[in-house]
């Protein structure tokens, strides 16, 4: 990013903070659809050029799949964040979405989606709907997305948003995702977007032979690793620790 871009971004963040202090919401009419599209293209360029932590992992997996990058180019992240976060929607960082939760960093969303190796005939499960953004990115890549959120308020907002935006192949549910969603599965891919200190056995059971699970494993205060689990055709499971990450905790009990 050049100096001008950094100055523009800092100015936007300051302006946004000021507006938030004044109780105003967002920057009315600040950006056109073309502006947002340009921001998305820049975001995807950042993701593609990301080499700091995951370059070797991406190399091992053949670089980002063009389908995944295309999904990142079309999903409107600015429609998944609270009004006061809209100006930062395409910055490559997590953002608060209320209820103490965050929408994940776009690079991590792209990486987790890529690692799932989504195919058009797949049914996938997401644990941790949050804003609904990860589900929206998966939506054009697979047949069905089933997504579970444990915080009622968040789950309701996300379900409404996904339906209003026309993500018709996404099914939502408010529940403790530890138990998966057998009626929606079995699943060719499972993505967990909150960190758990162990892999919930029901999720492993609901993963099809040949399926893949991507999950951050680690405690609230200990190091977490993005972990890829492959179940082969015979049902044998192999686990790969890929890179250190920081996710909000996997919690228990609907609230």
Active site residue 139: no
Which CB, 54 or 89, lies closer to ligand SAH? 89
Among 40, 44, 104, 180, binds ligand SAH (CB under 6 A): 104
Q: Are 134 and 191 in contact (CB under 8 A)?
A: yes
Among 95, 111, 148, 229, binds ligand SAH (CB under 6 A): 148
Among 89, 151, 207, 217, binds ligand SAH (CB under 6 A): 151
Residue 113 within binding range of ligand SAH, rule CB under 6 A:
no
Among 107, 167, 187, 250, binds ligand SAH (CB under 6 A): 250
Q: Which two three-digit tokens encode residue 159?
A: 């379900």
Task: Report residue 55: phi and psi, to 5°.
Answer: -55, -45
Q: Which of the following is catalytic: 104, 131, 139, 196?
A: 104
Residue 248 within binding range of ligand SAH, rule CB under 6 A:
yes
Q: Which of residues 166-225 bind ligand SAH (CB under 6 A)?
A: 176-178, 193-194
| Listed ranges 3-11, 38-46, 63-71, 128-136: which one lies at the site for ligand SAH (CB under 6 A) | 128-136
Among 113, 134, 224, 227, binds ligand SAH (CB under 6 A): 134
Q: Is the peptide bond before 251 cis (omega within 30 degrees of 0)?
A: no
Among 65, 101, 113, 206, binds ligand SAH (CB under 6 A): 101
Distances (CA, A) of 181 to 124, 165, 239: 11, 24, 22
Which CB, 148 or 214, lies closer to ligand SAH? 148
Which CB, 32 or 152, lies closer to ligand SAH? 152
| Listed ranges 7-15, 27-35, 61-69, 131-139: which one lies at the site for ligand SAH (CB under 6 A) | 131-139
Q: Find the angle CA(164)-CA(134)-CA(186) to the nearest 5 degrees.
A: 100
Residue 127 within binding range of ligand SAH, rule CB under 6 A:
yes
> Of 57, 171, 76, which Cα lies nearest the Cα of 124?
171
Beta partners for residue 239, in sequence order: 229
DSSP for residue 250: P
Residue 139 within binding range of ligand SAH, rule CB under 6 A:
no
Q: Which residue is nearest to ligand SAH (CB)?
A: 130
Distances (CA, A) of 148 to 80, 94, 120: 16, 20, 21
Distances (CA, A) of 45 to 38, 76, 223: 11, 16, 28
The pairing of strands 123-127 and 187-192 is parallel
SS3 of residue 228 by DSSP: strand
> Of 171, 169, 121, which Cα lies nearest the Cα of 146?
171
Where in the sequence numbering do the catalytic residues fall? 104
Interacting residue ranges for ligand SAH, rule: CB under 6 A: 101-104, 127-128, 130-131, 133-134, 148-151, 154, 176-178, 193-194, 248, 250-252
């Amino acid at each position: 990013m050049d100096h001008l871009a950094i100055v523009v971004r800092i100015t936007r963040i300051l302006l946004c903070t000021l507006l938030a202090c004044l109780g105003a919401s967002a920057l009315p009419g600040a950006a056109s659809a073309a502006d947002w599209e340009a921001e998305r293209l820049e975001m995807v360029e950042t993701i593609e050029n990301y080499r700091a932590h995951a370059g070797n992992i991406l190399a091992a997996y053949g670089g980002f799949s063009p389908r995944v990058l295309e999904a990142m180019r079309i999903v409107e992240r600015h429609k998944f964040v609270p009004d006061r976060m809209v100006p930062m929607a395409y910055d490559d960082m997590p953002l608060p979405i209320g209820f103490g939760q965050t929408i994940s960093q776009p690079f991590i969303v792209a990486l987790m989606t890529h690692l799932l190796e989504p195919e058009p005939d797949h049914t996938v499960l997401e644990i941790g709907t949050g804003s609904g953004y990860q589900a929206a990115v998966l939506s054009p890549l697979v047949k069905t997305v089933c997504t579970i959120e444990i915080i009622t308020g968040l789950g309701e907002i996300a379900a409404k948003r996904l339906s209003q935006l026309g993500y018709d192949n996404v099914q939502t549910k408010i529940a403790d995702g530890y138990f998966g969603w057998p009626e929606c599965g079995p699943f060719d891919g499972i993505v967990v977007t909150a960190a758990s200190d162990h892999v919930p056995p029901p999720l492993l059971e609901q993963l099809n032979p040949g399926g893949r699970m991507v999950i951050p494993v680690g405690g609230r205060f200990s190091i977490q690793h993005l972990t890829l689990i492959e179940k082969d055709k015979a049902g044998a499971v192999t686990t790969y620790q890929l890179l250190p990450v920081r996710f909000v905790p996997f919690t228990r009990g609907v609230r």
